[in-house]
Amino acid sequence: MSEIVKLPRAARVLVEFASLLRINGFAVAPEQTMAFLSAIELLGPRSLDDIYLAGLAILAPPPERRVTYDRLFDLHFRGREPLEGAGSEDEEVVRLQEEGRGEDETPLADEANESGLVAARTEALVARRFEERSTGDALRRFAREAPSRLPRRRGHRRIRARRGPFADLRRTLRDSVRSDGEVFKLGRLKRRPRPRKVLLLIDVSGSMKTRTEDNMTLAHALVQAAPHVEVFTFGTRLTRVTRPLRLKRREQALNAAAHLVSDWDGGTRIGDALQAFLAVPRFAGYARGAAVIVISDGLERGDVAALRDAVAKLARRAWRLSWLTPLATAPGFRPQTEALIAIRRFVDDLDSGGSTSDIVAHVLSLGRRRAA
């Protein structure tokens, strides 16, 4: 019976660095990780420079992403930002967090976006706690109507129906026995409807500060109402919060999610966050055939081209892509910001996200809409 080999603490740090590169979009094979450990063993190592050079030689980051590699190396091994003089073309790196990976993050920041009215690009690590509050009318309506009104898809299994595209030969032959072999009515079958996947991406940056608690409360209600829901938050980092939101008690679920997310009320880098989401194959698979809902004001402070490319890729994977923004305050809203103008042609719905009732109405209407 084989035993599970536990890596030494020093080796675990090196393996975690390879994993960090992988989740930030670098192609690092398991064989390269083993070769990386072997190279460091041969070098000693005597300093961090030896580890850095071994990583360049074995992990082989592409030249155009060398600045990102250097930044991730400094963040992981030195626990700080790069020194002055480092390149600034890829300065804003979005770090991806999953459940159980937030313990080592700095819980508080010295400066935060107090007003919540202006989008910033700098990162602020802020802890947040959700207070107990009563359930509003919109959420009660959502919990009552969501199971029957959320979007559905046709499954592969078939069920009996009065009308359907398939003949139920087994039922027809069984009924014909009762009438001495005469067939008076042909049984029909149709495909059984199945709940469609829902992917919810919530902007928790400083410019969305006043809506964050309501949006997270709605996310919890959606996870409780539907079986296939994935929820991510983004600001300067991308965090999967699906698992804590599966807890039944709302206050317990929201505060469990609050411990995972470390970029509350910080900067806004939507394009980098969506690129990080698409760089992980498992996460990108959540969007395939799903109703994707992005709740964000679209006040991007990063590269608009990166945002446009990410939204275009997301739209190709999704069944339908909805962007809900608090800026859409009236019917016939026309985007004015550079980011929303850039993504408008890739988005199927650009609707209001300024209140819980608006978001609830849009989500419940998705069941009547067709694929884009």
Name the residue ranges covered by the structural domains of the chain. 9-91, 137-148+196-368, 156-194
The partner residues of 188 in beta bridges, in order of sequence, read 161, 167
Tens of pLDDT, residue by residue over 84-109, are 334 333 334 465 665 544 433 333 33
135: nearest Cα among 351, 360, 367, 326: 360
pLDDT tens digits for 146-200?
888 888 887 767 777 777 777 777 877 787 877 777 777 788 877 777 889 999 9
CA dist list (Å): 247 to 22, 219, 224, 254? 30, 12, 8, 9
Q: What is the DSSP string of 9-32?
A: HHHHHHHHHHHHHHHTT----HHH
Q: Give the closest residue to 265 by CA, choosing from 117, 103, 132.
A: 117
Dmax over CA atoms of the chain, in Å, equals: 91
Residue 111: pLDDT over 50: no
- The predicted pLDDT at position 100 comes to 47
The tens digit of pLDDT for each residue in 213-263 reads 999 999 999 999 998 999 999 988 899 999 999 999 999 999 888 888 888
3-class SS of residue 234: strand
Task: Catalogue the E-assigned strands of the chain.
Answer: 95-97, 152-161, 166-167, 188-195, 198-203, 229-234, 237-240, 291-295, 320-325, 349-352
Can you state the angle between helices 212-225 and 356-365, rounded to 10 degrees? 30
Any idea which architecture 137-148+196-368 has in CATH? 3-Layer(aba) Sandwich (3.40)
Neighbours of 206 (CB within 10 A): 27
- % of the chain residues with pLDDT over 70: 81
- pLDDT top residue among 340 and 67: 340
Give the phi and the psi of residue 44 in degrees, each rounded to 5: 125, -70
User: Residue 297 is encoded by which pair of tokens?
Assistant: 């004001």
Could you tell me the two tokens for 266?
């910080």
Q: Which residues contact 211 (CB under 8 A, 6 or more apart)?
A: 295, 326, 353, 354
* Total length of the chain: 372
Higher pLDDT, 329 or 366: 366
pLDDT beyond 80 at 39: yes
